[in-house]
Amino acid sequence: MKSLAFLIINFQILLAFNYSLEPKNVGAATQCFFGLPQVMDEHNNGNISNSCFVNMGTSYLVIDSGPSYSYAKEAYDKIKMIKNLPISYVVNTHVHDDHWLGNSYYKEIGVEIVGSSEFKTLPILEKTRMQMKISKDAYEKTTQTYPEVFVEKEKILEINGEKVYIKSVNKKAHTRSDLFIYIPSKKIVFVGDLVFNERLPSIRDGDVSGWLKALEELKSMDVDYIVGGHGSVVSKKSVDFTYNYLKTLKKEVSILMEEGEEIGDVVNKVKMLEYKDVNFYDSMHRQNVEQAYRMLEWENE
Ligand SMILES: [Zn+2]
Q: Does a structural domain hold residue 296? A: no
- Mean per-residue pLDDT for 216-232? 97
Question: How much is the pLDDT for 4?
Answer: 55
Q: Does a structural domain hold residue 265? A: no
- pLDDT, tens only, 47-70: 999 999 999 999 999 999 999 999
Question: How much is the pLDDT for 298?
Answer: 83
Q: Does a structural domain hold residue 243? A: no
- In sequence order, which ranges of 101-193 are alpha helices (DSSP H)? 103-108, 129-133, 136-139
- pLDDT, tens only, 274-283: 999 999 999 9
Helix (H) or strand (E) holding 289: helix 281-300
Domain extent, residue 134, equals 12-238
Return d(Cα 100, Cα 82) in angstroms, integer: 23
CA angle 155, 91, 54 (to 5 degrees): 105
Residues with beta carbon < 5 A to ion ligand 1?
96, 193
pTM of the complete model beyond 0.85: yes
Distance (angstroms) between ligand 1 centre and the Cα of 90 equals 17
Helix (H) or strand (E) holding 52: strand 51-55
Distance (angstroms) between ligand 1 centre and the Cα of 58 equals 30
Return d(Cα 286, Cα 298) in angstroms, integer: 19
CA atoms lying within 13 Å on the CB side of residue 60: 26
Q: Does a structural domain hold residue 292? A: no
Distance (angstroms) between ligand 1 centre and the Cα of 174 equals 7
Q: How many domains is the chain built from? A: 1
Domain holding 229: CATH number?
3.60.15.10
Q: Does a structural domain hold residue 112? A: yes
Q: Average per-residue pLDDT in the chain?
A: 95
